[in-house]
Amino acid sequence: MLNLIVYSTKAALIGLWVFALLGLLSLSPLSFEYQPYVLALAGVVLLVHLLEFFAMKTKVKSKSTIDMSFVQTMLWGFSYWLPLLKKNKQLSQGDK
């Protein structure tokens, strides 16, 4: 179930980033009346991911030896760092 959520979130974010980038380049297949909404949504998502990075960086670092990537977090958000925590939890339970 977690994998389905992670992959569907990544697919939705890929769509958002593609539409936002195409809108910035004036190549978007969406009409001009929707472009401000797409760009506003992309800006809000980037802001949330920025806050998420600072909120989760210490948690991931304390539970794992892996450094959290800023770029990956800005692109994918929880669908990047949540599998890191889950994988580390599985590894640590396997050591016991």
Q: What is the reported pTM? A: 0.79
Q: Check residue 38 and give its pLDDT.
A: 93
Are 44 and 15 a contacting pair, CB within 8 Å? no
Please tell me the distance from the alpha carbon of residue 60 to that of residue 56, in angstroms, as a whole number: 6
Region 69-88 average pLDDT:
86
Q: How many residues does the chain have?
A: 96
Side chain identity at residue 81, one-letter code: W
Domain count, the chain: 1
Region 54-75 average pLDDT:
85
Domain that holds residue 40: 2-95
Q: Check residue 84 and give its pLDDT.
A: 79
